[in-house]
Amino acid sequence: MLVLRSSPASPFGRKVKIVAQELDLMDRIEIVVADTSDPNEALRQQNPLGKIPALILEDGFVLYDSRVIVDYLDHLAGGGRVLPADPARRYPALVLQSLADGIADAALLQVYEGRWRDEAQQSATWKAHQQGKVERGLAAAEAWPLDGSVHVGTIALACALGYLDLRFGGAWRKDHPKLVAFLEDFAARVPSFETTRVTA
Ligand SMILES: N[C@@H](CCC(=O)N[C@@H](CS)C(=O)NCC(=O)O)C(=O)O
C-alpha cells in the first residue's frame, strides 16, 4: 500500500487525491492525515520540509512535493494520462500547474501570516505582495485557452480556485467569469472534485 500524508483542506493534497481518483489508483493508497504544525509529527521525518502532501512508497522511499507525486501516479497508471505525453500539450499543462500552484502558494502564505504571527507582527505589505501574485495569476488563468481537458494543469487550477473559495470567500469569482464557468464544468466532469471538498 502507498501512504499519502495530507490534510483535508490542503489544495496540493486535494490535487493528488483527484489525480489518484482519475487514474483509478485510490485502492492502492491509504490516506493518513498529517498535522503540519505538530513538532512530533512523523511527517517531519518523512519529509524534512514538514510539508504535505508526501507519498510513502512500499519500499519506504518518500515522494514530495505534489508535482513529483502526480508525475509518479501518472507513471503508475501507464503514463500520458493526466500528464500528456505529447510535448505540445505536456508543457502547457505543466506551466498551468505551476501557475495554479503558485496561486495556491500565495494564498496559503497569506493564511499563514494570520495563523503563525501575532496580530501586531502581521505585515499588510507582505500580504499585499502575496495577493498581487494571486491577482496576476488569476488574470493569466482567466486568459488561458481552457478547452475542457482534464490534466495536471486543470486539476491544479480547480484546486487553487477551491482553496480561494474555502479561505477567501470566493471573492475571485466576481472578476473572472471564464474561471467560474471552467470550475462549474470541471466539477461536473470530475466527481472527485466534490468528494474532496471541505467546508472548514
Ligand atoms: N510545493 C508544495 C507545497 C506544499 C505546501 O505548501 N503544503 C502546505 C499545506 S497546503 C504545508 O505543508 N504547509 C506546512 C508548512 O509549510 O510548514 C507541493 O506542491 O506539494
What DSSP string runs through the chain?
A: -EEEEE-TT-HHHHHHHHHHHHTT-GGGEEEEE--TT-TT-THHHHSTT--S-EEE-TTS-EE-SHHHHHHHHHHHTTSSSSS-SSHHHHHHHHHHHHHHHHHHHHHHHHHHHHHHS-GGG--HHHHHHHHHHHHHHHHHHHTS---S--SHHHHHHHHHHHHHHHHHTTGGGGG-HHHHHHHHHHHHH-HHHHHT----
- In the chain, residues under CATH classification 1.20.1050.10 are 87-190
Backbone angles phi, psi at 137, to 5 degrees: -65, -45
Q: What is the pLDDT of residues 125-180, one digit of tens each?
A: 999 999 999 999 999 999 999 999 999 999 999 999 999 999 999 999 999 999 99
Angle between helices 87-116 and 152-168 in degrees, nearest 10: 20
Atom of ligand 1 nearest to the CA of 101: 19
**Distance from residue 110's CA to the centre of ligand 1 (Å):** 13
Q: What confidence category does residue 103 fall into, taking pLDDT thresholds of 50, 70 and 90?
A: very high
Q: What is the pLDDT of residues 71-100, one digit of tens each?
A: 999 999 999 999 999 999 999 999 999 999
- In the chain, residues under CATH classification 3.40.30.10 are 2-76
Q: Above pLDDT 70, what percent of the chain? A: 100
Mean pLDDT taken over the chain: 97
**Distance from residue 52's CA to the centre of ligand 1 (Å):** 5
**Distance from residue 108's CA to the centre of ligand 1 (Å):** 8
Q: What confidence category does residue 190 fall into, taking pLDDT thresholds of 50, 70 and 90?
A: very high
Whole-number pLDDT of residue 165: 98
Q: Which of 3.10.20.30, 3.20.20.140, 3.40.30.10, 3.40.50.970 would CATH assign to domain 2-76? A: 3.40.30.10
Are the C-beta atoms of residues 69 and 55 closer than 8 Å to each other? yes
The preferred substitution site among 51, 98, 113 for testing ligand 1, maximizing ligand atoms within 8 Å of CB, is 51
The preferred substitution site among 52, 67, 101, 116 for testing ligand 1, maximizing ligand atoms within 8 Å of CB, is 52
Atom of ligand 1 nearest to the CA of 9: 10
Task: Produce one character per residue of 50-88: b if its CB has 16 or more CB atoms within 10 Å, e if not.
Answer: bbbbbbbeeeeebbbbbbebbbbbbeebeeebbbbeeee
* Minimal-distance CA residue to ligand 1 atom 16: 51
Query: Residues lining ligand 1, judged by CB closer than 6 Å?
Result: 10-12, 36, 50-53, 65-67, 101, 108
Fold of 87-190: Glutathione S-transferase Yfyf (Class Pi); Chain A, domain 2 (1.20.1050)
